[in-house]
């Protein structure tokens, strides 16, 4: 019966599409059976006939053949249509055999048989004639595939199909959507289908009722439809559309602000990780460590090195890099403290110059032993992508993990400082070194452990930074100045001050950048800190003891 309809309406494929969609339950049931492994399968002769008609039909008649393929219920139909849409369905020039192109690189292309699905080896591209599609046919295929997917038992598949229909519903699809909406049991999918139908109704008929459905939608196709209605000759429709657009604009601004807040928190988390180790060493030892940035760099390079040792396992390499980065940076920190800093105690200017020289040595050492070029660290799959909140707001997962990691490190340091003997000794030395010594605390040992701890945390910062930027010899230089600003702004040696200051400066930078630019934003932040220090020289949370009094 469907063949006779296609013949009768060869030049009017829109009517054929309507008939196909009204007969949708027939091939929907077949698709449902396909999902459970009980799908129907056309004979090779019938399948060959359909593909031959698709290849030989003129473009105006191809949509009718596409609909017949979809109606066939054959489990292979989706693969054929997807291959045709991508211009990867072909047939041999000297035979009627149809092939699907798996790899179209080089002179010989890897292909598989369209009917059996088995690999057919490699065929010279000169022996193949690909079936070409155009934008109109691809749009039609997308709509047909979406309608097929709406019968899937998988809610995620149906939701993806419903989202794909927004902005691509034609008159024939609009006839079928109300019944699909009524049958759909998932509220989210039902709302998405209503939105797709409303977009079509607003664009095709200017139905004011469609605005009620689309009002507040953040979907690009919905906004485009409302914009079109705002330019309508109907004054009532245009006014209603403008009101809807005003509400959408407010929501877009709110989501933009939330996105800026998120990026500010992620930047603040990076600053906290970079500065918190410096805050510990500066507060206890009074050392201005200009090599702190290079300790961050070593942590990042440790992550890259672990991925070289464990190729193809970026997730495992990253997890192992956390303790490895800490130990590498802590070990280098102990070497620096024992070889240089212990001989310069009480002389901050000499310490600054010496550690600056160490930073240059470490940079050149990395350039010589590894490379002066940046290295790329692969982000694991579970850190890739984003968490979609709505159409206008998505949170990148790598930054979300960094925020959580920064809070975890901060909580760990607070636990060490409040609940361990080392933390008690560190606080004692920070407040009064001479008194701590008289009570039997070995200040030298505390200095070594504190510098190792602060350096190790810098290594953890490098591990985190490797997931959002390239790893290179100059990585640490980008964060050393910001780290000192965080320490000074928050209060020397105060962990809570470092957390608040890091998050505050990250948010301030992120909110200033859109209108001031990156460079001017940093200048404004620096001027702000200078003015703030004039009023509160000891920072937000002043630390009592030698570090504060000096």
The per-residue pLDDT for range 404-459, each reduced to its tens digit, is 999 999 999 999 888 888 888 887 877 777 888 888 888 888 888 888 999 999 99
CA angle 460, 462, 468 (to 5 degrees): 120
Task: Calculate ∠ Cα 376-379-382, nearest 5°.
Answer: 175
- 34-to-7, 37, 77, 176, 387 alpha-carbon distances in Å: 28, 5, 11, 22, 31
* pLDDT for position 307: 93
Pairwise CA distance, residues 482 & 277, whole Å: 13
H or E stretch including 283? Answer: helix 235-285
What count of other Cβ atoms lies within 10 Å of the Cβ of residue 19? 17
Query: What is the C-alpha R_g of the chain?
Result: 33
* CB distance 268 to 509 below 8 Å: no
Report the mean per-residue pLDDT for the chain.
83
**Alpha-carbon span 321 to 328, nearest angstrom:** 10
Handedness of CA 53, 55, 56, 57 (dihedral sign): positive
Which candidate, 253, 211, 245, places its Cα nearest to that of 393?
253
Q: How far apart are CA 165 and CA 159, in angstroms?
A: 10
List residues bridging with 92 in a β-sheet: 128
How much is the average pLDDT of 7-35? Answer: 38
Q: Which pLDDT score is estimated for 40?
A: 63
DSSP run (H or E) holding 122: strand 119-124
Q: What pLDDT is stored for residue 361 in this prediction?
A: 94
8-state DSSP, 206: -
For helices 477-490 and 235-285, the axis angle rounded to 10 degrees is 80
The confidence band for 402, taking pLDDT boundaries of 50, 70 and 90, is: very high
Report d(CA 398, CA 263) in Å as an integer: 11
Give the Cα separation of 463 and 298 in Å (integer): 9
CA pair distance 274, 455, nearest whole angstrom: 10
Contact (Cβ atoms closer than 8 angstroms) between residue 454 and residue 278: yes
Chain segment 266-314, per-residue pLDDT in tens: 999 989 988 988 888 877 777 788 999 999 999 999 999 999 999 889 9
pLDDT at position 306, please? 94
Q: 174 with 22: CB under 8 angstroms?
A: no
Residue that wins the pLDDT comparison between 319 and 148: 319
pTM score? 0.72
φ, ψ for residue 224, nearest 5 deg: -65, -40
Report the distance separating Cα 428 and Cα 229, nearest Å.
71
User: Which residues, 6+ apart, have CB-to-CB distance to 392 below 8 Å?
Assistant: 218, 251, 252, 255, 256
Q: Which of 444, 448, 341 is nearest to 436 (CA)?
A: 444
Q: Supply the pLDDT for residue 31.
A: 42
State mean pLDDT over 106-121.
86
Q: For residue 233, what are the CA distances in angstroms to 65, 147, 213, 230, 428?
A: 39, 33, 21, 9, 78
Dihedrals φ, ψ of 506, to 5°? -65, -45
CA–CA dist 358, 174 (Å, integer) = 70
Each residue of 39-80: pLDDT tens digit? 467 888 888 888 888 888 888 888 888 888 877 778 788 888
Contacts of 285 (CB under 8 A, 6+ apart): 341, 345, 447, 450, 451
**545 within 8 A of 522, measured Cβ to Cβ:** no
**Are the beta carbons of 45 and 66 closer than 8 angstroms?**
no
3-state SS, one letter per residue, for 376-436: CCCCCHHHCCEEEEECCEEEEHHHHHHHHHHHHHHHHHHHHHHHCHHHHHHHHHHHCHHHH
What pLDDT sits at residue 325? 94
Asked if pLDDT for residue 203 goes beyond 90, the answer is: no
| DSSP for 230-241, written as a single string | HT-S-HHHHHHH
What is the per-residue pLDDT across 326-375, written as a single tens digit (0 to 9) for each?
A: 999 999 999 998 999 888 877 878 888 999 999 999 999 999 999 888 99
**Residue 548 predicted with pLDDT over 70:** no
In a 10 Å sphere around its CB, with 0-12 CB exposed, 13-18 middle and 19+ buried, how is residue 292 labelled? buried
Quick one: pLDDT at residue 459?
A: 94
Helix, strand or coil, per DSSP, at residue 40: strand
Question: What pLDDT, on a 0 to 100 scale, did the predictor assign at position 544?
Answer: 57
φ/ψ (deg, to 5) at 383: -110, 0
Asked whether the beta carbons of 475 and 465 are under 8 A apart, the reply is yes
The label of the residue with tokens 């559309």 reads 241
Render pLDDT for 486-534 as a digit per residue (tens, 0 to 9). Answer: 888 888 767 888 899 999 998 988 888 877 777 888 888 888 888 888 8
**Residue ranges of domains in the chain, CATH in brackets:** 1-87+131-205 (no CATH), 254-382+390-543 (1.10.3470)
Asked if the model's pLDDT at residue 319 lies above 90, the reply is yes
CA gap 514, 449 in Å, rounded: 42
**What Å distances lie between residue 33 and 27, 43, 68, 306, 412, CA to CA?**
10, 17, 18, 47, 54
HSE-up of residue 353 (Cα within 13 Å, Cβ side) = 4
Question: What is the 8-class DSSP label of residue 64?
Answer: H
Q: How far is CA 530 from CA 275, 292, 523, 525, in A?
A: 18, 22, 11, 9
Do 151 and 183 touch, CB atoms closer than 8 A?
no
According to DSSP, the β-strands at 119-124 and 108-113 are antiparallel
């Amino acid at each position: 019966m469907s063949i006779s309809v296609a013949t009768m309406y060869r030049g009017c494929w829109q009517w054929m599409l309507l008939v196909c969609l009204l007969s949708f339950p027939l091939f929907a049931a077949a698709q449902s059976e396909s999902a459970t492994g009980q799908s129907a399968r056309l004979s090779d002769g019938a399948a060959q006939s359909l593909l031959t008609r698709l290849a030989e039909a003129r473009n105006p008649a191809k949509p009718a053949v596409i609909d017949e393929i979809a109606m066939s219920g054959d489990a292979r139909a989706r693969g054929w249509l997807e291959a045709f849409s991508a211009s990867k369905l072909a047939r041999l020039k000297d035979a009627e055999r149809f092939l699907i192109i798996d790899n179209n690189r080089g002179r010989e292309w890897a292909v598989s048989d369209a009917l059996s699905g088995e690999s057919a080896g490699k065929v010279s591209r000169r022996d193949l004639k690909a079936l070409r599609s155009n934008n109109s046919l691809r749009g039609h295929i997308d709509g047909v595939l979406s309608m097929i997917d709406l019968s899937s038992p998988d809610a995620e598949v149906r939701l993806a199909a419903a989202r794909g229909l927004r902005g691509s519903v034609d008159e024939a699809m609009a006839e079928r959507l109300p019944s699909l909406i009524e049958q759909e049991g998932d509220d989210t999918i039902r709302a998405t289908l209503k939105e797709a139908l409303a977009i079509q109704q607003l664009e095709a008929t200017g139905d004011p009722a469609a605005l009620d459905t689309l009002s507040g939608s953040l979907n690009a196709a919905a906004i485009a439809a409302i914009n079109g209605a705002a330019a309508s000759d109907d004054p009532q429709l245009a006014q209603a559309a403008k009101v809807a657009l005003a509400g959408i604009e407010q929501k877009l601004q709110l989501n933009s602000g939330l996105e800026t807040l998120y990026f500010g928190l992620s930047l603040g988390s990076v600053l906290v990780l970079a500065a918190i180790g410096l805050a510990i060493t500066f507060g206890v030892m009074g050392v201005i460590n200009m090599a702190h940035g290079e300790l961050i760099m070593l942590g990042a390079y440790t992550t890259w090195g672990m991925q070289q040792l464990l190729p193809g396992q970026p997730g495992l390499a990253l997890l192992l890099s956390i303790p490895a980065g800490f130990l590498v940076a802590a070990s280098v920190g102990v070497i620096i403290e024992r070889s240089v800093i212990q001989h310069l105690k009480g002389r901050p200017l000499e310490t600054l110059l010496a550690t600056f020289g160490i930073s240059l040595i470490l940079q050149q050492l990395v350039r010589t032993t590894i490379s002066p070029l940046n290295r790329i660290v692969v982000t694991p799959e579970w850190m890739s992508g984003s968490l979609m909140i709505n159409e206008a707001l998505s949170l990148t997962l790598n930054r979300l993990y960094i925020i959580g990691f920064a809070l975890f490190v901060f909580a760990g340091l607070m636990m060490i400082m409040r609940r361990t003997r080392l933390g008690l000794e560190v606080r004692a030395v920070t407040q009064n070194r001479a008194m701590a010594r008289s009570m039997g605390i070995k200040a030298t040992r505390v200095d070594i452990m504190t510098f190792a701890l602060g350096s190790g945390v810098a290594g953890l910062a490098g591990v985190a930074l490797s997931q959002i930027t390239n790893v290179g010899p100059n990585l640490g230089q980008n964060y050393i100045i910001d780290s000192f600003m965080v320490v000074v702004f928050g209060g020397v040696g105060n962990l809570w001050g470092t957390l608040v200051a890091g998050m505050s400066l990250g948010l301030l930078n992120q909110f200033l950048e859109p209108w001031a630019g990156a460079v001017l934003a940093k200048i404004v932040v620096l001027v702000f800190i200078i003015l703030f220090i004039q009023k509160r020289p000891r920072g937000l949370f002043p630390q009592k003891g030698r570090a504060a009094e000096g």
